[in-house]
């Protein structure tokens, strides 16, 4: 993991003795408590942790949760600092360089067997998986085989589990985030000189809003990007809330002309009890990996051709819709028609609604908030007569990737059903 814009400072406050971990110290979960991160100068793992500690997360609870992992050789302390005249908390993670670099699958096993609070474990799993997938894409290897310091270093483990424990201490039910600041130029990493923002950060923040800053420094690290990419269900302006507390987490260096801090607001969202309860129910589904509030855009069309409808679906997907589909209906006067629907993130609603209207000529659209739960999944590969076929594994079944099946079938001049059967056996 890269540190937050500089070298790790000496630990000011030593890690306390093991504390009780039976219940989080801090606010009781209310079902509608939200944390909104404001990465005005970027975000790193220690900056996010510092912001949450500054907002009132209990350091004893955080360190006790990290302690349940049974890892030695780390210390976590805090110090009060100022960055461009803004008072902030600097979370000082002391974990020696060169410590054992674990694979993502090693981290997953470590988290699975530890007595962490369940929501801390789930959030940490989500963050590490997002980070491993992003780094795997950079290096062209499966996420399970990612084996380098961005995933396995001890400081990354302390940062990520610490952030998830701090969220639990504050009783946070949902996370959202403002546009993420990124620097320019190049950065030095374990693999040599990389473009800035680093490729893993670009992968993690795909389809999320970023803001370029004219500073030749790494403002957002892969760990910081993974935290908000995996945990934030919404990117954009702060939601309507009643603020309960706020905090700033400091990076190590001073930045020219701006405070080197990540901000956070902790508050309660009023008038959303039903949606929050629904999200909690969906998150409890067996095998749930992530639960996100999304928006369904829809319009009824009785005067467009199949060609127009098909193009609209392709265009919406290409523009960032998470899914798009058409369902046949019968409208007034007995007219056969279609409902065109696009599933999207809240920050994409206006842009995709404009696109749907332009492509179809509709005179009106509607939108409704939905809660989507994605079940746990991972991918493995098998060899079928020299052809690699990916296998998608979910909680209840495994299935060969059909594009791989077809490619192998065409190359081997065999029926796709035979390839699928052999790959799945």
pLDDT tens for each residue of 88-103: 999 998 877 655 667 8
Model pLDDT, residue 26: 44
Model pLDDT, residue 275: 61
pTM: predicted TM-score of the whole model, two decimal places? 0.62
Model pLDDT, residue 135: 86
Rounded to a whole number, what is the distance in angstroms from the first to the last CA of the chain?
39
Model pLDDT, residue 152: 47
Averages of pLDDT over runs of 10 residues in the chain (425 residues) are 40 38 45 90 96 97 96 92 95 74 85 94 93 87 67 80 97 93 86 85 92 93 95 86 95 92 91 60 76 90 94 96 95 91 92 95 92 86 92 90 94 93 86
C-alpha triplet 65, 53, 271: angle, nearest 5°: 95
Model pLDDT, residue 300: 96
Q: Can you read off the two tokens belonging to residue 72?
A: 């030695």
Q: In what helix (H) or strand (E) does residue 266 lie, and over which residues does it extend?
A: strand 261-268
Residue 203 burial class via C-beta count within 10 angstroms: exposed 0-12, middle 13-18, buried 19 and up: buried
Strand pairing report for 366-375 and 288-301: antiparallel
Model pLDDT, residue 101: 67
On whether the CB atoms of residues 207 and 198 are closer than 8 A, the answer is: no
Cα atoms in the Cβ-side hemisphere of radius 13 Å centred on 12: 10
* Separation CA 177–CA 301 (nearest Å): 35
Sole residue written with tokens 């404009």: 354
* Separation CA 297–CA 295 (nearest Å): 6
Give the SS3 label for residue 110.
Answer: helix
* Separation CA 63–CA 267 (nearest Å): 24
* Separation CA 271–CA 237 (nearest Å): 18
Strand pairing report for 232-235 and 174-177: parallel
């Amino acid at each position: 993991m890269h540190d937050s814009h500089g070298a790790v400072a000496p630990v000011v406050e030593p890690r306390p003795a093991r504390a009780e971990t039976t219940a989080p110290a801090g606010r009781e979960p209310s079902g509608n408590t939200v944390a909104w991160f404001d990465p005005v100068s970027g975000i790193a793992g220690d900056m996010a942790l510092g912001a949450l500690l500054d907002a009132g997360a209990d350091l004893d609870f955080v360190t006790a949760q990290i302690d349940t992992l049974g890892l030695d050789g780390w210390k976590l302390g805090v110090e009060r600092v100022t960055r461009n005249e803004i008072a902030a908390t600097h979370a000082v993670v002391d974990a020696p360089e060169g410590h054992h670099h674990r694979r993502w699958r090693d981290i997953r096993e470590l988290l699975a067997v530890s007595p962490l609070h369940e929501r801390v474990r789930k959030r940490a799993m989500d963050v590490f998986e997002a980070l491993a997938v992003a780094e795997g894409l950079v290096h062209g290897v499966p996420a399970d085989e990612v084996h380098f310091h961005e995933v396995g270093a001890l400081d990354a483990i302390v940062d990520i589990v610490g952030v998830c424990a701090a969220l639990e201490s504050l009783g946070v039910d949902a996370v959202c985030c403002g546009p993420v600041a990124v620097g320019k130029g190049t950065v030095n990493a374990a693999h040599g000189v990389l473009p800035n923002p680093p490729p893993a950060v670009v992968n993690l923040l795909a389809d999320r809003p970023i803001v370029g800053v004219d500073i030749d420094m790494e403002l957002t690290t892969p760990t910081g990007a993974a935290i908000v990419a995996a945990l934030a269900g919404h990117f954009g302006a702060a939601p309507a809330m009643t603020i309960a507390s706020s905090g700033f987490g400091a990076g190590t260096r001073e930045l020219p002309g701006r405070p080197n801090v990540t901000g956070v607001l902790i508050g309660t969202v009023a008038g959303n009890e039903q949606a929050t309860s629904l999200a909690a129910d969906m998150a409890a589904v067996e095998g749930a990996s992530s639960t996100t509030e999304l928006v369904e855009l829809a319009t009824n069309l009785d005067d467009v051709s199949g060609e127009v409808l098909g193009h609209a679906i392709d265009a919406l997907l290409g523009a960032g819709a998470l899914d798009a589909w058409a369902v046949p209906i019968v409208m007034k006067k007995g007219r056969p028609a279609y409902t065109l629907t696009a599933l999207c993130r809240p920050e994409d609603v206006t842009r995709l609604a404009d696109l749907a209207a332009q492509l179809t000529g509709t005179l009106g659209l509607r939108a409704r908030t939905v809660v989507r739960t994605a079940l746990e999944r991972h991918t493995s590969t098998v060899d079928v007569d020299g052809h690699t076929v990916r296998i998608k594994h979910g909680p209840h079944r495994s299935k060969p990737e059909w594009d791989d099946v077809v490619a192998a079938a065409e190359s081997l001049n065999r029926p796709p059903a035979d390839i699928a059967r052999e790959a799945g056996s």
